Structure 1
Amino acid sequence: MVKFICLDIDGTLLNSNHEISEKNKAVIKEVTKVRNIPVILVSARMPKGINFLQEQLDIHEPIICYSGSLILDKEKNILFSQYIDNSYIKDIVSEAKNLDIHISLYKDDNWYVEQLDYWALQEKEITNIEPNVVEYTKLLTQWKLESLGCNKLLCMGASENIQKLRDILLKRFDKQLNIYLSKPTYLEIMPKNASKTLAISFLLDRYNIEKSELMTVGDNYNDMDMLEYAAFGIAMGNAPIEVKNIAKDITLTNDEDGVAWAIEKYVL
């Protein structure tokens, strides 16, 4: 019996046009309003990139942001937050610049860039969020004084350069940070002790729900831990083969209402 549903957003809940289909909306409405089952949105996105989707779905639950390094309750208060150490950020920014890679910094509900280059403009168009343009030297100095860092770093660039950066950072920070490709041109970096699974486990405790009653749906490598963790871990039809191989079941693609199909099969 499924009593708690956690959905990835990009490539899962959203179709290729970055929209929630009417079918997915209808099924999620039935689950939340008729069955009273919580639906939690779980993403590498910042809060601003999740809140408007919650509004579209009329969901009033906590959200898991930055792949687990930030959890907000339904009133948008911080339940959990984990920051990347300032010294690590400085080194990563330096390495990224050496490889001509764009790097974005995310802290709480703010997105920082040094300039509105091609990658920043592309991400702005996808998310419909306006970044703060700042000089990183000044920003990092301020964070150091406040003993703070950021929840996430996003590196964007040519795939061969992104792979080089990944190899460099894994050798240097594998024990301190979670470093993974979300697509060939995107490298995402989060605190080591933050993950989608840990964030979901945190919420299960708050709701007093067992792991055996959990459904998770995702499409990418950073969803693998939550798919393995859940009793009902469902991979999207558009997921890579490695993700499909560890899932309990495989649904349709994100352009075929795969989320609705999975919920109808296991919940309704």
Structure 2
Amino acid sequence: MKYKLLVLDVDGTLLNDAKEISKRTLASLLKAQQMGVRIALASGRPTYGLMPLAKTLELGHYGGFIVSYNGCQIINAQNGEILFERRINPEMLPYLEKKARKNGFAIFTYHDDTILTDSPDNEHIRTEAELNNLKVIKEEEFSTAVDFAPCKCMLVSDDEEALAGLEEHWKKRLDGTLDVFRSEPYFLEVVPCGIDKANTLGALLSHLDITREEVIAIGDGVCDVNMLQIAGLGIAMGHSQDSVKVCADYVTASNEEDGVAQAVEKMILAEVHAAEIPLDLLNARAHHALMGNLGIQYTYASEDRIEATMPVDHRTRQPFGILHGGATLALAETVAGLGSMITCQPDEIVVGMQVSGNHISSAHEGDTVRAVATIVHKGRSSHVWNVDVFTSTNKLVSSIRVVNSVLKKR
């Protein structure tokens, strides 16, 4: 497959305006992962606030990543391991607090599942906490209470002019020490020097040993521009500012129009060909299922043909040492099921409806049989597959018909 990693901004990109992942977007992302594409969520949100989204997308199952705090951390969603991390020198906190108090700004930072702040009743801080399922703890002496190195600090004010003034001052004063930028009109973010989504993406690519050309990045904000430019394919959301769109290779629909799903369907799902189906990944994921228990291994996969092998051994034979007919039918349903899954659309699911077969000859213990499934009918609501099962010497063992029902996801 051409693309191996899909990097997604969260707010305004993955999520719609209701802060939800649409059904179509979820379906497309799950199918992309089933095809072997790994996903990284890249956001200014804290790690804790991204974990529910990672769970919904099954990133842990498919080997995805969380890039949090605008690039301060990379987390392996499979095991929680921190692969990359940068933090603010805690010696800078008294200076940041002093400047915040002098200008009448609120200040806060994140720590695990909490927000530490001197202004717990601030509307924007409360909203940030609710958005990320965080508790808010009041700390009168902020820099004293924060006895750790935070990933980032946030200054908050509705006085946009004053906040912009401090931003410009700090860009000169803190150059080479800390980076500052406005993520919202009322938020001034302070992060370690040199940290942004693009630089951290570079670290992730090194870890995965993949190239920029194998990456798709999708975002909507000014903070995403560098990330879009470093990716092999940078995609801007349809509602992005023109300054973001001109930096992208492609512009998709807005987050209210399933822009991420449209991009994934066009750039990833439509590009799946027979030689690109990751058979090793498919086989590994079925290891602890019935398929794995019976020793079934996929050997070829395309939209109209699936092949797999199964050993005739203690797991699949009758007491007399010949292949069990039930195991043969399970093999047939396995290959036909995969074929329908590859063929159906991202918003569809496949369920088995009927399987019937004729057992023509026997296969003996010690042999390995081969199933060849070819599609004979591909309708909008059903697929019909013919599955022939052969011995290692190409003797026909069984001829089986499998009917799968295609349903819309709810």
Residue of structure 2 aligned with 1:62, choices 65, 72, 85: 65
Deviant stretches of 4+, over 4 Å: 107-110
Alpha-carbon distance in structure 2 between the residues aligned to 1:79 and 1:65: 12
Other-structure match for 1:72: 75
Aligned to 2:14: 13
Distance 1:92 1:167 in 2: 15
Following the alignment from structure 1 to structure 2, what is the Cα–Cα distance between the partners of residues 267 and 17? 26
CA distance in 2, matches of 1:108, 1:64: 15
Aligned residues of 1:12 and 1:236 also touching (Cα < 8 A):
yes
Secondary structure in 1 matching 2:41? strand
The match for 2:127 is: 122
Distance 2:169 2:12 in 1: 28
TM-score normalized with structure 1 length: 0.91
Aligned to 2:18, what secondary structure does the other structure show? coil
- Residues 117-163 of structure 1: CA distance to partner in whole angstroms, max 9, x if unpaired? 222212223323213333314224x33xxxxx211112221122221
Rounded to whole Å, the distance in 2 between the matches of 1:93 and 1:238 is: 36
Corresponding residue for residue 52 of structure 1: 52
- 1:136 and 2:137 correspond: no
Contact 2:107 2:117 in 1 (8 A): yes
Give the Å deviation of 1:92: 1.7
Could you say if the C-alpha distance between residues 214 and 10 of structure 1 is closer, same or farther in structure 2, counting changes exceeding 3 Å?
Answer: same
Query: In the TM superposition, what is the alpha-carbon distance from 1:107 to its structure 2 partner?
Result: 4.5
2-side partners of 1:200 and 1:131: how far apart? 30
SS at 1:16 equivalent: coil
- Per the alignment, residue 189 of structure 1 pairs with 190
Q: Could you tell me which amino acid in structure 2 is paired with residue 127 of structure 1? A: N
Which one has the largest radius of gyration? 2
Aligned counterparts of 2:114 and 2:196: Cα–Cα separation in 1:
20
1:240-259 CA deviation, whole Å, 9 max, x = no partner? 21111111111111111111
Bigger shift: residues 86-95 or 245-254: 86-95
Aligned positions, number:
261
Alignment correspondent of 1:146: none
Structure 1 gaps of 5+ residues are 144-148
Structure 1 residue 113, shift from structure 2 partner: 1.4
Distance in 2 between residues matched to 1:132 and 1:196, nearest whole Å: 28
1:22-33 aligned within 5 A? 22-33=23-34
Instruction: Kindly provide the amino acid, as one letter, of the partner of residue 128 in structure 1.
Output: N
Deviations along 1:47-90, whole A, 9 cap, x unmatched?
A: 11100001111112221111111111221122221111223222
Q: What CA distance in whole angstroms lies between the structure 1 residues aligned with 2:97 and 2:152?
A: 12
Distance 1:247 1:223, change over 3 A: same
Change (3 A) 1:137 1:214: closer
- 1:42 matched residue in structure 2: 42
Give the superposition deviation at 1:21. Answer: 0.9
SS of alignment partner, residue 161 of structure 1: helix
Deviation, structure 1 residue 106:
2.6
Measured in 2, the distance between the counterparts of 1:113 and 1:265 equals 44
Give, as a single letter, the amino acid of the residue that structure 2 aligns with 1:56: T
Q: What residue in structure 2 maps to residue 89 of structure 1?
A: 93
Shift of 1:231: 1.1
Whole-Å separation in 2 of the counterparts to 1:152 and 1:247 = 27
Q: Which amino acid aligns with 2:129?
A: K
Tell me which protein shows more strand as a share of its residues: 2
Cα drift, residue 110 of structure 1 = 4.6
Q: Which residue of 2 aligns with 1:222?
A: 223
Kindly tell me: are residues 109 and 173 of structure 1, through their superposed partners in 2, closer, same or farther at Cα, counting changes over 3 Å? Answer: farther
Q: Relative to 1, partners in 2 of residues 1:239 and 1:248: Cα closer, same or farther, differing over 3 Å?
A: same
Write the distance in 1 (CA, Å) between the matches of 2:248 and 2:177.
27
CA distance in 2, matches of 1:87, 1:262: 44
**RMSD of Structure 2 on Structure 1 (CA):** 1.6
Q: Kindly indicate whether structure 1 or structure 2 has the higher relative contact order, using CA contacts under 8 Å at least 6 residues apart.
A: 1
Deviations 1:76-117 (A, max 9, x none): 122221111223222122112222222111356653212312
